Amino acid sequence: MNRKAQEPVPPCGMHVLFEYECPHCHRPTDVNAPSQPGIIRCVWCGNRFPIIPVDPYVMDYFRLMTCDGRAAADPDYL
Ligand SMILES: [Zn+2]
């Protein structure tokens, strides 16, 4: 058995989900860091509504501060 294949693996990247509150049912729908304005469909009620995109500078900040998620690994497990 390959011993290395059983070792825990740290994160190698990340996606940031943002919640958008549906104006119809007021429940949140997750969207993976939308960079453009658009229309999404509520996962709860199925209605569609327009969203404001995420500022790309905020995403650059998250990626820089966490080294694209790699620095977020719990050091107790490294
Ligand atoms: Zn809804």
Q: Give the residue among 25, 22, 27 at the shortest CA–CA distance from 39.
A: 22
CA 44 from centre of chain = 19
Q: Nearest to residue 16, comparing CAs of 34, 28, 29? A: 34
Model pLDDT, residue 1: 58
Compute, in angstroms, the gap from residue 29 CA to the centroid of ligand 1: 8
Q: For residues 41 and 7, what is the distance between their CA atoms, to the nearest angstrom?
A: 39
50 CA distance to ligand 1 middle (Å): 12
- Which residues in 7-78 belong to E strands, given as ranges? 17-21, 28-32, 38-41, 48-51
Cα-to-centroid distance, 60 and ligand 1 (Å):
30
- Averages of pLDDT over runs of 10 residues in the chain (78 residues) are 82 95 98 97 98 96 94 92
Query: Residue 48 C-alpha to ligand 1 middle, in angstroms?
Result: 8
